[in-house]
Amino acid sequence: MATRVTTDTSHEALGLSPEDLLSMYRTMVTARVVDEAAFRLNRQGKAPFVVPVSGHEGCQVGTAWAMRRGRDIWLPYYRDVGVVLVAGMTPMEIFLGLFAKADDPSSGGRQMPSHWGSRRLGIISHSSPIASQVPHAAGIAYAVKLRGEEAVVGCWFGEGATSEGIWHEGVNFSGIHRLPVVWICENNQYAISVAQSKQMAIADVADRAEGYGFPGVVVDGNDVLACYAAMRRAVERAMAGEGPTLIEAKTYRFFPHTSDDDDRTYRSREEVEAAKHNDPIHRFEHHLRDAGILDPERVAAIAAEIKADVDRQIERAWSAPDPDPSTLERHVFHEGDPA
Amino acid sequence: MTEKNVVTAIHDTLHEIMAEDERVVVLGEDVGVRGGVFRVTQGFLEAFGEQRVIDTPLAEGAIVGVAVGMALHGLLPVAEIEFADFIHPAFDQMVSEVARMRYRSNGDFGLPMVVRAPWGGGVHGALYHSQSIEALYGHVPGIKVVVPSTPVDASGMLRSAIDDPDPVLFLEHKRTYRLIKGEVPDEPFRVPIGPADVKRAGTDLTVVAYGLMLHLCLEAAARLQEDEGASAEVVDVRTISPLDKETILGSVRKTGKAMVVYEDNRTYGAGAEIVATIAEEAMFDLDGPIVRIGGPDVPAMGFATNLEHAFLPDADRIYARMLELARF
């Protein structure tokens, strides 16, 4: 059965400096600010479609933080604002995607927002069908191993994805070949409206790992340092040739599935409000205050600074050029000499 | 030059390419120890090792999806779907991922990968070992679909497919595997993806076909010449998508008569697109009705010999329609 993270998650034990912690905190706040701004823009009619992240910042930033830019390969899903920020995407680039601008790094305005991709950053382009990126992660990890590279593949998805046949197929392949991949399940307990009890007969998604011959780990997804600890261990295992790990981070999404969803039809307001008491950002704030790294004035200053910065980036993204309709037929196939 | 059948030509070419380029890997069900159910990868495991010759679980979605990942990270995967009929579980990977990766990333990512699949009837394959899938994927921009039908084309187009920076669905008609023989150059060579090929020159009518039907058309065309003195030009489509309209239209404009033969279900088949192309672009060059021969619109051919024959167009039927059109 799945294990639970019981290791010492103090930052000293994890080898994180106070500066690291502040960087993690700022990234989580940035994800939240991006989210709130995106919903504001949606209500203003400037952003037709938003996929919210709020509530998931701890598990996203915590797990992504154990990966290394320039070395590792990232396969996020649509809710992973926190992951792509850690991978190196800027808020400006995220808003270029939200506004479907020509310079949207993911797709040049072709895909819906939050369908991430950037070859430069090692973020693999993904589609909308759920879990479709899972076999890609296995294939990339196979190539990493065959080519003898020192790298780890991280693949994120919700618990809903684990119902898909292709999820099983991809994860199973990674177990057979002991591939350097970490599977991260952000379990927010709902596949849009379908509660976990209607998705599976087990309490912990991580238990599925046993069927693939590698460890499954349950972690408090609202505890960013616990998520980091679990991921760091999984990355070490992968780098040491010990194979995959499935990390299940239990969390909650505070907003509807997307801007087109109405979660009042399937979740009580009491349940949502109760979940907000476990807000990963507030919890990390308390932790940092207890550790003497943050104080209330600093919290307010950081929030104000990030908001101002994100607002500037939104302005720039909004005024960027739209895609040229004459490019509609480009990039169906390779253009020019074979790469 | 060496005389080979289709399956040997594919085997030898793939073996040569794997020996030349260590980025090339093969993966699929039974491709390793068994050497493939049609023996295309016979001896590969011993030659290239199990890291490059990968026996996969029975999971077509993962065979294609894992190949996508490999192609994204420096390998040149050649995935085998044991029978084209079994590619349907991988339809989402093919359509949503393989075909769309380059387009959806605005050219940032490409997929240099090949998916091989034996297709077609005439081998007592019944409902699930006889299907034609070329139209399903010919309809999807972003995947190249090829149907080489001779040893030399299979060899040369396989090399082009593996060289190609884009995904290629490489369809091998399983009835041609051991039936069709021909001379194949001993040195590496390429047959380009895209151009159709005039397999028999003629002046009185044009017959467009591919796969097993190509060979039945060539047989019928030879009889037509011998018995009636009528000269049929036979165009081998070779690439379903992107379709070489110019070669087909050029031949039709020359002969003034067009016939299209395919074994897939007639409705919405690849032949329907070819007929539509001729109708749209060569209508006023025609001296007779466009003739279309396809399989019936039933789910598949039966296992019983007579049911299979009743489904598949044969050389006699093709001959009769050719003669009719020649005399029109």
Residue B15 annotated among the catalytic residues of the structure: no
Most B CBs within 10 Å, among A173, A177, A178, A335, to test the B interface? A173
Q: Does any domain span residue B191?
A: no
pLDDT (0 to 100) of residue A6: 61
Mean pLDDT of A199-204: 97
Q: What is the DSSP string of A238-266?
A: HHTT---EEEEEE---SS-SSTT--GGGT
Q: Does any domain span residue B84?
A: yes
A108, B41 in Cβ contact below 8 A? no
Q: How far is CA A132 from CA A52, A204, A251, in A?
A: 20, 22, 22
Cβ distance of A136 and B97 shorter than 8 Å? yes
DSSP H/E element including A187: strand A181-187
Instruction: Enter the tokens of residue B61.
Output: 């979605």
Q: Number of folded domains in chain B?
A: 2
- Please indicate if any CB of chain A lies within 8 Å of the CB of B172: no
Report percent pLDDT > 90 for chain B: 100
Q: What is the pTM of this model?
A: 0.97
Q: What is the 3-state secondary structure (H, E, C) of chain B?
A: CEEEEHHHHHHHHHHHHHHHCCCEEEEECCCCCCCCCCCCCCCHHHHHCCCCEEECCCCHHHHHHHHHHHHHCCCEEEEECCCHHHHHHHHHHHHHHHCCHHHHCCCCCCCCCEEEEEECCCCCCHHHCCCCCHHHHHCCCCCEEECCCCHHHHHHHHHHHHHCCCCEEEEEECCHHHHCEEEECCCCCCCCCCCCEEEECCCCEEEEECCHHHHHHHHHHHHHHHHHCCCEEEEECCEEECCCHHHHHHHHHHHCCEEEEEEEECCCCHHHHHHHHHHHHHHHHCCCCCEEEEECCCCCCCCCHHHHHHHCCCHHHHHHHHHHHHHC
ipTM (interface predicted TM): 0.97
Question: Is the pLDDT reported for residue A4 higher than 90?
Answer: no
Same domain, B216 and B175: no
Closest by CA position to A182, among listed A135, A139, A138, A246: A246
pLDDT (0 to 100) of residue A11: 83
Give the model confidence (pLDDT) of A188-197 as tens digits. Answer: 999 999 999 9
**Of the residues B124, B152, B184, the one at which a domain ends:** B184
Bridge partners (DSSP) of residue A182 are A154, A245
- Please indicate if any CB of chain A lies within 8 Å of the CB of B75: yes
Query: Would you give the distance in Å from CA B105 to the centre of its chain?
Result: 28
Find chain B residues with C-beta within 8 A of A125's C-beta.
101, 104-105, 108-109
Q: Does any domain span residue B190?
A: no
Cβ distance of A119 and B142 shorter than 8 Å? no
Three-state DSSP state, A269: helix
Residue type, B136: L
Question: Is the pLDDT reported for residue B323 higher than 80?
Answer: yes
- Please indicate if any CB of chain A lies within 8 Å of the CB of B235: no
Question: For residue A265, how many other CB atoms are within 10 A of its CB?
Answer: 8
Give the model confidence (pLDDT) of A10-27 as tens digits. Answer: 888 899 999 999 999 999
Closest by CA position to B242, among listed B143, B119, B107, B155: B143
Same domain, B124 and B236: no
**Of the residues B155, B184, B213, the one at which a domain ends:** B184
Residue A190 annotated among the catalytic residues of the structure: no
pLDDT band of A260, cuts 50, 70, 90 = very high
The secondary structure of residue A166, as a DSSP letter, is H
B85, B32 in Cβ contact below 8 A? no
Question: Is the pLDDT reported for residue A338 higher than 60?
Answer: no
Find chain A residues with C-beta within 8 A of B52's C-beta.
146
What's the rounded Cα separation, in Å, for the pair A65 and A79?
A: 17
Length of chain B: 328
Same domain, B151 and B217: no
pLDDT band of B306, cuts 50, 70, 90 = very high
Instruction: Enter the tokens of residue A271.
Output: 């349940």
Determine the longest span between alpha carbons in chain B, in angstroms.
Answer: 60
pLDDT (0 to 100) of residue B119: 98
Give the model confidence (pLDDT) of A145-182 as tens digits. Answer: 999 999 999 999 999 999 999 999 999 999 999 999 99
pLDDT (0 to 100) of residue A98: 98
Q: Which residue has the tokens 């927010």?
A: A188
Same domain, B139 and B234: no
Same domain, B296 and B223: yes
Give the model confidence (pLDDT) of A96-111 as tens digits. Answer: 999 999 999 999 999 9
CATH of the domain at B168: 3.40.50.970
pLDDT (0 to 100) of residue A339: 45
pLDDT band of A1, cuts 50, 70, 90 = confident
Could you tell me which CATH number the domain at A3-320 has? Answer: 3.40.50.970
What's the rounded Cα separation, in Å, for the pair B144 and B230?
A: 35
Q: Does any domain span residue B18?
A: yes
Determine the longest span between alpha carbons in chain A, in angstroms.
Answer: 59
Mean pLDDT of A62-80: 97
Q: Which residue has the tokens 């019944």?
A: B126
Same domain, B208 and B173: no
CATH of the domain at B231: 3.40.50.920
What's the rounded Cα separation, in Å, for the pair B248 and B209?
A: 10
- Mean pLDDT over the full length of chain A: 96
What's the rounded Cα separation, in Å, for the pair B74 and B258?
A: 45
Closest residue in chain B to residue A339, using alpha carbons only? B165
Q: Does any domain span residue B189?
A: no
pLDDT (0 to 100) of residue B145: 98
Q: Does any domain span residue B175?
A: yes
Instruction: Enter the tokens of residue A244.
Output: 């995959």
Same domain, B279 and B234: yes
Closest residue in chain A to residue B60, using alpha carbons only? A169
Task: Report, in angstroms and rounded to the nearest whole number, the Rg of chain B calculated over CA atoms.
Answer: 19
Question: Is the pLDDT reported for residue B171 higher than 80?
Answer: yes
Same domain, B99 and B224: no
Cβ distance of B104 and A125 shorter than 8 Å? yes
Same domain, B204 and B60: no
Mean pLDDT of B46-52: 98
Cβ distance of B69 and A125 shorter than 8 Å? no
Same domain, B224 and B121: no
A157, A90 in Cβ contact below 8 A? no
Q: Shortest Cα distance from A290 to chain B (angstroms)?
A: 44
What's the rounded Cα separation, in Å, for the pair B102 and B221?
A: 42
Question: Is the pLDDT reported for residue B234 higher than 70?
Answer: yes
What's the rounded Cα separation, in Å, for the pair B276 and B282?
A: 10
Cβ distance of B105 and A125 shorter than 8 Å? yes
Domain boundaries, position B35: 2-184
**Of the residues B184, B217, B236, the one at which a domain ends:** B184
Task: List the catalytic residue out of B73, B88, B129, B139.
Answer: B129
What's the rounded Cα separation, in Å, for the pair A197 and A176?
A: 29
Question: Is the pLDDT reported for residue B226 higher than 60?
Answer: yes
Same domain, B43 and B116: yes
Three-state DSSP state, A149: coil
Question: Is the pLDDT reported for residue A255 higher than 50?
Answer: yes
Cβ distance of B65 and A125 shorter than 8 Å? no
Report percent pLDDT > 90 for chain A: 95
